Amino acid sequence: MGNKSHTNANHLNEKPGFHVWWRLLRPHTLTASFIPVFVGTMLAVLDGSFRPLVFIAMLIAAMLIQSATNMFNEYYDFIRGLDNEDSVGIGGTIVRDGIKPNVVKRLAFSFLGVAALLGVYICLISNWWIAVIGLACMLIGYLYTGGPVPIAYTPLGEVVSGLLMGTVIIGISYYIQTFAISWQILVISIPIAIFIGCIMLSNNIRDLEGDKENGRKTIAILIGRNKAIFLLSSLMLTSYALTAAFIIAGLLPIYSIISLLSITKAREAIKTFQANTTNVGMIPAMVATAKTNTFYGGLIGLSLLLQILFPLPL
């Protein structure tokens, strides 16, 4: 068994030491927390408000919560027998590296504890209602794969992750800088919420067969592989169409047209899914989907910064 595990680790390009813990965080997905905080803060800066320490606290808290969610995913999928040494798309900390499951679970709760402390600081300089929202975010992060009916095992995984990591995080990031919120901010968050949901959808497309065998009811399983890939491409196109509409309507600056450069990554993700049916073969497709969110959100944030530095009429 040890030799087989070692072979799989080589096949998946896994390394020992620090990389064991780094993989546990699933770093390629962490832009799903970084991008919303960045965009929400840039929207606040555009409206004349920026407090660097609050931004840093919010960014670290959001990434800690997502990292903890990834660890709970690793722990509970192992406990339920869904993960083994051949599983791809996971950190492999438990099944391939031999780290005890309880260590992973305790580390996840430790991350949530630090995030809660940062949340107290954020509340002290903003509003204690943020604590209610923050606790709800942490609870959902736990219930995403924990609890009797994990959210990730239902058709709601993409919607919940998109709304929580996209719209809610952008809204909070904006509010704690400006002490205000508007419908425009929530509307602008929709494309990013969609792209984050697409990350979850791409994961479920890759894991479709294994998830089906283990009784999950994800949207990818319910509609089938081909329709799920079509849904993924449709959602991405919807995000780009909304972005163009927001620019025309003046909700986003003309600079935001640069976000369309991320279409190349979106196309890469779809074509890779269409051309591959094995789990390992679909890993690049999921990575490309995550990078689409990173590039799109990063370029939107950059466009807002350009509007701040070199204002153009909206």
Tell me the mean pLDDT in the region 6-26: 61
Answer yes or no: is 314 within a domain.
Answer: no
Answer yes or no: is 146 within a domain.
Answer: yes
**Confidence at residue 250, expressed as pLDDT on a 0 to 100 scale:** 96
Answer yes or no: is 85 within a domain.
Answer: yes
- Please, what is the average pLDDT of the chain? 89
Tell me the mean pLDDT in the region 63-71: 91
Answer yes or no: is 13 within a domain.
Answer: yes
pLDDT in tens, 178-219: 999 999 999 999 999 999 999 999 999 998 988 888 888 999
Grade residue 3 by pLDDT with cuts at 50, 70 and 90. very low
pLDDT in tens, 258-269: 999 999 999 999
Answer yes or no: is 81 within a domain.
Answer: yes
**Confidence at residue 314, expressed as pLDDT on a 0 to 100 scale:** 77
Distance CA 82, CA 110 (A): 24
Segments forming the whole domain that contains residue 269: 2-309
How many domains are contained in the chain? 1
**pTM for the structure as a whole:** 0.90
